[in-house]
Structure 1
Amino acid sequence: MIEAKTRAWWRATAALCLGSFLVFINLYVPQPLLPGLKDAYGVSTLGVSLLMSVSTLSLAFALLVFGPLSDAIGREAIMRITLLLAGCLSLALAFAPTFESLLLLRLLQGFVLGGLPAVAIAWMGDEFDKPALLSAVGLYIGANSLGGISGRVVGGGAAALGGTTAAFLAVGVMTVVGCVVFWRLLPNSKAFTPKPFQFRQAATDLLSHLRSPLLLAAYCLGGINFLIFINQYSYITFRLAGEPYQLAASSLGLIFLTYLGGTFGSTVSGRLAERFSPGGCISAGVAILMVGSAVTLANSLTLIIIGLTINAFGFFLAHSLASSWVGRYAQGARGSASALYLVFYYLGASVGGFWLEPFWRWSQWQGVVVGSWLLLCVPLAIGISLWRFERRVVRR
């Protein structure tokens, strides 16, 4: 087993963090480009938003495929091959002749981008001892958010210089070069033991998780929260690209630096949960997301940025605690329980445009905020019910 802070640990952790960074830079690069792509291809706001939706949808499906497959054939090959394919697909996106071909390529890219997230932590569980695993997972998750931010910033900056083609080319080249480094850094597995895939057992585990009210509540909460959070960022780009702001793609990419508020939210979530309660803090996170949405109604660009930062803090506070809730209350098969949380999480992201689009058509950004508030009442109620459950357990 690889021990923490050894040379082998640093090498493996660096490889997985690099891989995670590359996955999320590819997933989110189109987001600041949506207004430009809408005009270039002559599609609606809902149509161009599908570039994000189809990739998160296929990524969610990929999690259910690659996880069990890796138990049978190994994990390194899945991570290496899917990461390389993701980079090649970004290069292909730069030359997509029609919107339909662009959409198909994003669908395929979302699927292959699911390869590394589906198996990376399982690889660490095989190869690292417990202290090494805990240290590595924290860095790995940090690379997720850094990749998400970088995808928007790099995409927006490259588009300002050479259009959307340049954005996809820049990320594609970065991914292919990074993939070469990833292949060289990632050690070959030494502790992996293959086991045949048993469909019946896997299906039984998933159904048992879905029958658990405590897990299903966390799944729905995470999915709805992400539905609102990530799709608000898509629609805010349309608002800020128009009058009176008229922000270029490079400036729209910088808007996503507000994600750093979420980094702080994730960091303090554990300490807040210890002082108060996980259920109470989840409810507070949803409420903060609702408050941040209200702040974005201001006409001041500064207040809009503050509101988005508040949103990120509230969302990641709730998300961190909801995902840990799953690990705490899953009765066996915790790996599939956590994977199912991510499936709901990305499914939420993929259908968000269909929920918010009618509100956008009704009253532009004000409509999006109203639609957000209406739906966020559901996770708020779920969070309060989890908080009440905890109080009942303590009283016993």
Structure 2
Amino acid sequence: MTIDPRRVGVALAGYCAFLNLYAPQALLPALAQNFGVTAAEISAVMTAGTFSIALTGPFTSAIADLLGRKRVIVIAMLAVALPTLMVALAADVREIIAWRFVQGLALPPVFTTALAYVGDEWPPAEVPGVAGIYMMGSSLGGFSGRLIPGLLTDLVGWRPAIGTLALITVACAAAFAVMMPRERHFVRSEGVMASLRQMVRHVVDPRLVPIYAVGFGVLFNFMAVFTYVNFHLAAAPYFFTPAMLGMVFFTFLAGSVTVPLIGRAVAVFGRRRFVLGVLAVWVAGALLLLTGPLWSILLGLTLCATCGMMCQGVSTGAVTATATVGRSSAVGLYMTVFYVGGSAGASLPGLAWAAGGWPATVAMVVAVITGMATVVALFWREPA
């Protein structure tokens, strides 16, 4: 069986981006204790990265429509490594937040360009499956980015743990540069302003707006659950260490296994029906987070991770299938909305946590999932 190097490259791009984006998540309780800040205050470490991604996503996608695909991705991968290293050297929380913001500026060219590459290089019928491969790489990257620092922090401290991720990122960039073929079907944009005009059209496209709404909700819920569950499990009666919190993210592996099956499921049920079914299961998973036994909480986290990845895989594939013109700008806009949702999901649940602890945080997540289901049921349209 011949392995398509393009599919490997797409998976590598997802792995590299998400390796760094969520790396501090399992370390948040330890960082809060080390620097003497609250859960809501240390969550700004997560918000900084997602917020800067939301700011720059549209512009980097417009540039990618001019410069091509592979070159942009390789440069961006290498650029991510520097702020990752600087986070490891930071003297206080403010420096960590600042370098996390810079790190976020370098990430959009990786995933927006990779998804645009998928839309360019594969026929529409294959896009959901290839987007699923991207999500598999993303989920493995997110898992590794949380697990590796968690394990290393207990052994050598959090600074060498984060520094290790910078080295892995450079290695990923080198592997991507060697393995990924240059794009064959890329059509250069007429210019940055043309891409931005296309983006304005995407904002008012009734076929894309519901997809963007789902993207907002997906990362909101991911950030809410997988940021604040660390504080829940670090407290009584669980008392998890950073290494134990890193192990919690083994729940992501279930998503890595199931996400490549998205293409088949969409072919059978259609995107709209499939997403509605996944959202129903997601609510059940969120409710399990309120139970006491650890196995039940881990099952809930597994369902939340899997359902979120499935929704993300379907929605990213739907964007590239729906936007036949200006795919990079359409994906860039999706990423902006997606990471605005992530920024909100890292910060707003902090208010719920302060007011009502873990139950209030989970209630906010269930409310957002319900809103997503309403939007999909009423407004989602299948791509032509």
Asked if these proteins are the same fold (TM beyond 0.5), I'd say yes
**Could you tell me how far 1:352 is from its partner in structure 2?**
1.2
Shift of 1:380: 1.9
Q: In the alignment, residue 96 of structure 2 is paired with which amino acid?
A: L
Whole-angstrom CA distance in 2 between matches of 1:344 and 1:269: 22
- The residue that corresponds to 1:232 in the other structure is 225
Q: Distance in 2 between matches of 1:61 and 1:155?
A: 27
Greater RCO, 1 or 2 (C-alpha within 8 Å, sep 6+): 2
Q: Which AA in structure 2 matches 1:58?
A: S
Instruction: Give me the whole-angstrom Cα distance separating, in 2, the residues matched to 1:331 and 1:16.
Output: 20
Amino acid at match of 2:98: L
User: Which residue is 1:295 aligned to?
Assistant: 288
What CA deviation, in whole Å up to 9, does each residue of 1:156-193 have, x standing for no partner?
A: 11111112112111111222333344444445667766
Q: Does 1:347 align with 2:340?
A: yes
Partner AA of 1:89 in structure 2: P
Larger Rg: 1
Paired AA for residue 285 in structure 1: V
Residues 286-312 of structure 1 show CA distances to partners (whole Å, capped at 9, x for unaligned) of 222111111111111110001111212
Whether 2:103 is the aligned partner of 1:116: answer no
* 2:368 matches 1:378: no
Question: Where does residue 73 of structure 1 map in the other structure?
Answer: 67
Per the normalisation by structure 1, the TM-score is 0.86
Of 111-120 and 142-151, deviating more is 111-120
Q: Select between 227-236 and 174-183 the one with higher mean Cα deviation.
A: 174-183
Query: C-alpha separation between the residues in 2 aligned to 1:371 and 1:125?
Result: 34
Give the match's secondary structure for 1:94. helix
Q: Distance in 1 between matches of 2:271 and 2:116?
A: 25
In the alignment, does 2:52 pair up with 1:63?
no
**C-alpha displacement at 1:346, in angstroms?**
1.5
- CA distance in structure 2 between the aligned counterparts of 1:288 and 1:239, rounded to whole angstroms: 22
C-alpha distance in 2, partners of 1:37/1:123? 37
Deviates more, 1:301-310 or 1:323-332: 323-332
> Post-superposition, which runs of at least 4 consecutive aligned residues in structure 1 deviate over 6 A?
none
Report deviation, 1:322: 3.0
d(CA) in 2 for partners of 1:119 and 1:75? Answer: 6
Please say if 1:96 is aligned against 2:96: no
By how many angstroms is 1:62 displaced?
Answer: 3.1
The alpha-carbon deviation at position 245 of structure 1 amounts to 0.7
1:20–1:348 distance in 2 versus 1, CA, 3 Å: same
Which stretch shifts more, 246-255 or 204-213?
A: 204-213
Deviations 1:260-298 (A, max 9, x none): 333355344444444444323222222221111111111
Q: Do structure 1's residue 249 and structure 2's residue 249 form an aligned pair?
A: no
Greater CA deviation, 23-32 or 277-286? 277-286
Partner residue of 1:206 out of 194, 199, 206: 199
- Any idea what the Cα deviations from partners look like across 1:183-212, whole Å, max 9, x if unmatched? 44445667766555140x323322222212
CA contact (8 A) 1:158 1:170 kept: no
Which deviates the most, 63-72 or 269-278? 269-278
- Partner Cα distance (1:26, 1:355) in 2: 22
Q: 1:283 aligns with which of 276, 280, 295?
A: 276
Report the residue type matching 1:354 in the other structure.
S
Is 1:30 the counterpart of 2:24? The answer is yes
The one-letter code matched in structure 2 to 1:150 is S
The separation in 1 between residues aligned to 2:268 and 2:187, in whole angstroms, is: 41
TM-score by length of 2: 0.88
2:360 to 356, 363, 367: 367
Pick from 216, 229, 233 the counterpart of residue 223 of structure 1: 216
Structure 1 gaps, min length 5 = none
- Paired with 1:260 and 1:366, the residues of 2 have a C-alpha distance of 25
Structure 1 residue 335, shift from structure 2 partner = 3.8
- Who is 2:37 aligned against? 43
Supply the RMSD in Å over aligned alpha carbons: 2.9
| CA deviation map 1:132-165 (0-9, x unaligned) | x868655443211111111111111111111211
Corresponding pairs, count: 382
Distance in 2 between residues matched to 1:276 and 1:85, nearest whole Å:
40
Match of 1:313 in 2: 306
- Structure 2 stretches of 5 or more lacking a match? none
Could you tell me how far apart the structure 2 residues matched to 1:369 and 1:189 are?
43
Deviation at 1:44, TM superposition (A): 1.9
Q: Tell me the amino acid that sits aligned with residue 80 of structure 1.
A: V
Preserved CA contact (<8 Å) 2:64 2:328: no
1:208/1:221 CA distance change after superposition, 3 Å = same
Deviations 1:209-260 (A, max 9, x none): 2212332122112202320122211000001111111111111111111123
